[in-house]
Amino acid sequence: MKAVVQRVSHAYVDIDGETVGRCGPGLLILVCAMQDDDKANADALAGRIARLRIFPDDDGRMNRSILDTGGEALVISQFTLAADTSRGNRPGFSTAAAPGDGETLYNRFVAAMRAEGVTVETGRFGADMAVHLVNDGPVTIPIER
């Protein structure tokens, strides 16, 4: 699985003008399941992100995780993270998981984040979404598992 993790002051996602998910200070997580991913990949990625120390401690150093801060997460499915741009000008997405598998793994990732103790809201898998965020830092980190 692939993810892009952004530390945010707040974020929300709209579908057809309706807000369907939001978070306060914490993380916006864009996540993509790849063809060979399984439940273990989703669980491992969730654990890694939940413990990722990208929040400042009292000395201003990135030394605290979302678990340490009690922050929230907004998790958005983002199959375009599988983009292959190695040839031509149009990206290919053939390495992304099939939609049914992708949705299953996305839901598993969300459940695993919640099991880690993170408060999670989501977008809607496969929907055309407008994601709004205020990046804090900015801190943006790509992660693969």
pLDDT tens figures, 53-92:
999 999 999 999 999 999 999 999 999 999 999 999 999 9
pLDDT tens figures, 18-58:
999 999 999 999 999 999 999 999 999 999 999 999 999 99
Q: Is 57 helix (H, G, I), strand (E, B) or coil?
A: coil
CATH 2.40.50.140, applies to 2-136: no
| pLDDT at residue 145 in the model | 81
Cβ atoms of 4 and 75 closer than 8 Å: no
Domain residue spans in the chain? 2-136
24 CB-side CA count, 13 A: 5
Which residues 6+ apart lie within 8 Å of 104 measured at CB? none
Q: How does strand 26-32 pair with strand 72-77?
A: parallel
Q: What are φ and ψ of residue 140, in 5° steps?
A: -135, 125
What is the set of active-site residues? Answer: 78-80
58 dihedral zone (left: phi>0; alpha: psi -120 to 50; beta): alpha
